[in-house]
Amino acid sequence: MNAQPNAECKPEQKRASGLWLTALAICYVIIWWQDSLWLTAPADTLPLVSGLILLLFLGRPWIFLKTRKSISQPFCIIAIALIAFGIAINIMILSALGWTLLLTVFLRSYFQLPRYWAQLLPLAFFAFPWVATDLPMVGWWFRISAATVSAWIFQSLGFLVMRQGADIQVQGLPISVEAACSGLNLLQALLLAGAVLGLLQLRGRTSYWGFLLSLPLLAWFANTCRILVITAVALSSDTTFAAGLFHTWGGLLVVVLMFGAAQFLVTFLSKTGPKEVGT
């Protein structure tokens, strides 16, 4: 952390903050390695580490307090318990929550924080691959709901449609919304990127929190649109093209749609939402 030292900051305070940073770094690595499931898609999960880099960048300048505030022991105990319990039962989302809480204790005790500092914390929470490791049901729900919506839309357009689970037939053309189509690997990277987009434009506004809660819905919308487009391409032209190169690059379509929808919502909220704190 590139912190600007206060002229009256005590040397022992700097050393203590260094120990805190070391402990946080060790815990961060341990939490990442508690479940190696994320290794199945490292290209989608490793970029999450950038969440911490973005937190450092967007929270600048980091200025040491002249005198360290008292460390909240109850919050420390809760944070350590969450990390330990999450590791013990292999639920990364608990460990990530505990680590974020521990980071909060450290930052509030040692630094002069901007008044919107709490809005930086989701970047730390999203810097762990807990969606991929802990929430496979989210991927299942994305698949089922996307197949249901797709079937309903094509049926409304007059096509002959049959659906069984995540498999649909449109005019006799089989479309299988497989696990790879759930967008689960991309979801958390999209959440992190969306949180950064919102922070850049809604910093200090209460509407930022509502925008943050809308990100999973925006990701679902983008992924469902991808399935609709692939199905439409398969019906109108070449199934080989739709199932091959177009399907492979469909992830890019999800990203474009996600950010388009997110930018539209951010623009709307930035014009209508009330201010929460100073920036």
- Neighbour-count burial for 17-31, b at 16+ CB within 10 Å, e otherwise: beebeeebeebbeeb
- Pairwise CA distance, residues 221 & 213, whole Å: 14
More confident residue, 256 or 91: 91
Contact criterion met (CB below 8 Å) for 71 and 65: no
- φ, ψ for residue 175, nearest 5 deg: -125, 115
Instruction: Name 162's Cβ contacts closer than 8 Å, sequence gap at least 6.
Output: 151, 168, 169
Alpha helices per DSSP H over 203-274: 207-236, 239-243, 245-248, 250-272
Write out pLDDT tens, residues 75-125.
Answer: 999 999 999 999 999 999 999 999 999 999 999 988 888 888 999 999 999
Residue 2, pLDDT score: 57
For the entire predicted model, the pTM comes to 0.80
Q: What's the confidence (pLDDT) of residue 180?
A: 57
End-to-end CA distance of the chain: 21
Burial of 235 (0-12, 13-18, 19+ CB in 10 A): middle
| 174: phi then psi, degrees, rounded to nearest 5 | -75, 130
- Average pLDDT in the 261-277 region? 76
Residue 149 has pLDDT above 80, yes or no: yes
Question: Is residue 201 pLDDT above 80, yes or no?
Answer: yes
The yes-or-no verdict on residue 228 having pLDDT over 60 is: yes
Question: Above 50 in pLDDT, residue 278?
Answer: no
Question: Average pLDDT in the 192-201 region?
Answer: 89
Min mean pLDDT across 71-80, 154-163, 181-190 is at: 181-190
Q: Is 62's pLDDT higher than 90?
A: no
Q: Which residues of 38-55 are buried (b: 16+ CB within 10 A; e: fewer)?
A: beebeebbeebebbbebb
What is the predicted pLDDT for the residue at 95?
95
CB 133 within 8 A of CB 214: no
pLDDT of 122 reads: 94
Q: Is the confidence at residue 241, as pLDDT, over 70? A: no
Identify which of 211, 215, 200, 210 has the alpha carbon closest to the alpha carbon of residue 279.
200
Average predicted confidence (pLDDT) for the chain: 81
Domain edges within the chain: 3-134, 136-272
Contact 145, 223 (CB under 8 A): no
CA 192 from chain center: how many Å?
4
176-211: b (≥16 Cβ within 10 Å) or e: ebeeebbbbbbbbbbbbbbbbbbbebbbbbebbeeb
> CA 85 to CA 78: how far, in whole Å?
10
- How far is 44 from 139, CA to CA, in rounded Å? 15
- pLDDT given at position 273: 58
